């Protein structure tokens, strides 16, 4: 059984209330993570479509005609056990909620719903049912886990603090999630002491990489789901520790195990790193299929780039797996991007990012990436180009 899941959660909406269906459709247009794949206007049609299209999540209106909603929810357990069911209702009293939960459905969404309610209920139901889907898949002879055809780890590194690693890692990951709808994308914050990818994405995950350490030898999708959170783009995020002193608990061995587990479930695993070449950073660089190496056009950064690239060579990291990202490019700077590219001519340039404080800061302050900007600016285009380069450079040979 094929468990490849596009990065979007596929939803079937069943209601004869045209206005309600339309409002849900309009709201979910705003979400990168959820797709409506069909609708049904009565109970019989709903069950038939659910069996045919096997949605990840079914939203069914309490007042749907022909088959009562709670009966549909009950039947879904045997007819479409991989689907999570949610009931749309204009009430949410405890007794009703109890009846709903007894059918095997996951929750009640009160109507009319807000975007936040829809996204959080759908995502939560989908994640809660991950273990069940895995069991059903195993029983049906499947692999019990998402099948990933070719997974790539993309590490973002720069030898100088503040060069733009986090900005590049978060934006590249979200652009990948948006532009590769068939690909599952994970972002790992391995800037272990002062990781700020969560801040950049507007996410405050309740758990982080430290919670994976006790189970590092037996990692599976359930453990990962339990610790990772979903961004509105569909990207899954694994946070750095909360306390800086916990950083040293994450050694090279744990990093290798975590990245290798993530490769089983994600098509792209983007890793933000720290400038200091600790065991964890080196393990991530060695595990990477591609390294985006950030360099800014000034003397200190250029000298550090030269030293770090020499060290990478000694570590046996293939030159072919490294490309440069020139960041904070500005006409005012004495050293021009072409000169930097010439200095490191063995390494291709995946992208040049203009120094654009004015477009970037409001997004960073709001916990958003430029992938969420409706405007197309040189900076957004440069990030998009880097994401495209990552796809090209890491494409399986012969693809």
Ligand X SMILES: Nc1ncnc2c1ncn2[C@@H]1O[C@H](COP(=O)(O)OP(=O)(O)OP(=O)(O)O)[C@@H](O)[C@H]1O
Q: Closer to ligand X at the Cβ: 181 or 362?
A: 362
Among 191, 232, 233, 394, binds Mg ion (CB under 5 A): 191
Scan for tokens 């247009």, then name that residue. Answer: 29
Residue 356 touching ligand X (CB under 6 A): yes
Residue 167 touching ligand X (CB under 6 A): yes
Residue 198 touching ligand X (CB under 6 A): no
Residue 351 touching ligand X (CB under 6 A): no
Q: Closer to ligand X at the Cβ: 55 or 158?
A: 158
Residue 164 touching ligand X (CB under 6 A): yes
Helices 165-179 and 378-393: angle between axes, nearest 10 degrees: 70
Please write down the HEC assignment for all residues of the chain: CCCCCCCCEEEEEECCCHHHHHHHHHHHCCCCCEEEEEEECCHHHHHHHHHHHCCCEEEEECCCCCCCHHHHHHHHHHHCCCCEEEEEECCCCHHHHHHHHHCCCCEEEECCCCHHHHHHHHHHHHHHCHHHHHHHHHHCCCCCCCCCCCCEEEEEECCCCCCCHHHHHHHHHHHHHHHCCCCCEEEEECCCCCCCHHHHHCCCCCCCHHHHHHHHHHCCHHHHHHHCEECCCCCEEECCCCCHHHHHHCCHHHHHHHHHHHHHHCCEEEEECCCCCCHHHHHHHHHCCEEEEEECCCHHHHHHHHHHHHHHHHHCCCHHHEEEEEEEECCCCCCCHHHHHHHCCCCCEEEEEECCHHHHHHHHHCCCCHHHCCCCCHHHHHHHHHHHHHHHHCCCCCC
Q: Closer to ligand X at the Cβ: 50 or 364?
A: 364
Q: Closer to Mg ion at the Cβ: 64 or 168?
A: 168
**Shortest distance in whole angstroms from residue 354 CB to ligand X:** 6
Choose the one of ligand X, Mg ion, none that binds residue 275, judging by a C-beta under 5 to 8 angstroms depending on kind.
ligand X
Tell me the window of 213-221, 241-249, 298-306, 348-356 that interacts with ligand X (CB under 6 A).
348-356
Q: Closer to Mg ion at the Cβ: 195 or 354?
A: 195
Q: Closer to ligand X at the Cβ: 145 or 196?
A: 196
Q: What is the pattern of x (binds Mg ion, CB under 5 A) and - over residues 132-171? A: ---------------------------------xx-----
Q: Closer to Mg ion at the Cβ: 89 or 240?
A: 240
**Shortest distance in whole angstroms from residue 195 CB to Mg ion:** 7
Residue 301 touching Mg ion (CB under 5 A): no
**Shortest distance in whole angstroms from residue 201 CB to ligand X:** 12
On whether the CB atoms of residues 188 and 269 are closer than 8 A, the answer is yes
Tell me the window of 46-54, 190-198, 287-295, 362-370 that interacts with Mg ion (CB under 5 A).
190-198
**Shortest distance in whole angstroms from residue 138 CB to Mg ion:** 39
Among 44, 48, 162, 243, binds ligand X (CB under 6 A): 162
Choose the one of Mg ion, ligand X, none that binds residue 161, judging by a C-beta under 5 to 8 angstroms depending on kind.
ligand X
What strand order describes the sheet that includes 9-14?
A: 34-40, 9-14, 57-61, 84-89, 107-110
Tell me the window of 78-86, 253-261, 312-320, 356-364 that interacts with ligand X (CB under 6 A).
356-364
Residue 161 touching ligand X (CB under 6 A): yes
**Shortest distance in whole angstroms from residue 238 CB to Mg ion:** 15
Interface ranges with ligand X (CB under 6 A): 158, 161-167, 191, 274-275, 327-328, 353, 355-357, 360, 364
- Give the binding site for Mg ion (CB under 5 A): 165-166, 191
């Amino acid at each position: 059984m094929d468990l490849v899941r596009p990065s979007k959660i596929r939803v079937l909406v069943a209601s004869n209330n045209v206005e309600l269906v339309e409002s849900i459709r309009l709201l979910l247009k705003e979400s990168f993570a959820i797709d409506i794949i069909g609708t049904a206007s009565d109970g019989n049609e709903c069950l038939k479509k659910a069996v045919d299209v096997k949605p990840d999540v079914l939203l069914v209106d309490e007042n749907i005609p022909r088959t009562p909603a709670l009966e549909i929810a009950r039947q879904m357990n045997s007819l479409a056990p991989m689907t999570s069911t949610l009931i749309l209702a204009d009430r949410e009293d405890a007794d009703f909620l109890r009846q709903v939960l007894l059918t095997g459905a996951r929750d009640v969404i009160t109507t009319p719903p807000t975007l936040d309610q829809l996204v959080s209920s759908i995502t939560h139901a989908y994640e809660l049912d991950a273990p069940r889907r895995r069991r059903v898949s195993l029983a049906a002879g499947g692999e019990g886990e998402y099948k990933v055809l070719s997974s790539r780890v993309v590490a973002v590194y720069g030898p100088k603090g503040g060069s733009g690693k986090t900005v590049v890692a978060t934006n590249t990951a979200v652009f990948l999630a948006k532009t590769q709808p068939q690909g599952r994308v994970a972002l790992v914050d391995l800037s272990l002491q002062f990781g700020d990818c969560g801040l950049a994405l507007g996410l405050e995950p309740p758990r982080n990489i430290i919670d994976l350490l006790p189970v590092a030898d037996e990692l599976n999708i359930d453990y990962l789901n339990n610790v990772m959170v979903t961004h509105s783009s569909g990207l899954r995020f694994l946070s750095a520790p909360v306390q800086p002193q916990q950083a040293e608990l994450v050694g090279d061995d744990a990093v290798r195990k975590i990245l290798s587990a993530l490769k089983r479930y994600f098509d792209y695993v983007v890793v933000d790193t720290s400038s200091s070449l600790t065991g964890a950073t080196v393990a991530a660089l060695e595990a990477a299929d591609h390294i985006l190496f950030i360099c800014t056009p000034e003397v200190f950064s250029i000298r550090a780039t030269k030293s770090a690239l020499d060290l990478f060579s000694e570590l046996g990291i293939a030159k072919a797996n490294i490309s440069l990202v020139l960041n904070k490019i500005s006409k005012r700077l004495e050293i021009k991007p072409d000169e930097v590219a010439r200095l490191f001519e063995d390494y291709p340039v995946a992208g040049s990012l203009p120094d654009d404080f004015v477009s970037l800061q409001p997004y960073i302050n709001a916990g958003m990436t430029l992938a969420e900007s409706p405007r197309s600016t040189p900076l957004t285009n440069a990030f998009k180009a880097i994401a495209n380069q990552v796809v090209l450079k890491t494409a399986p040979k012969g693809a």
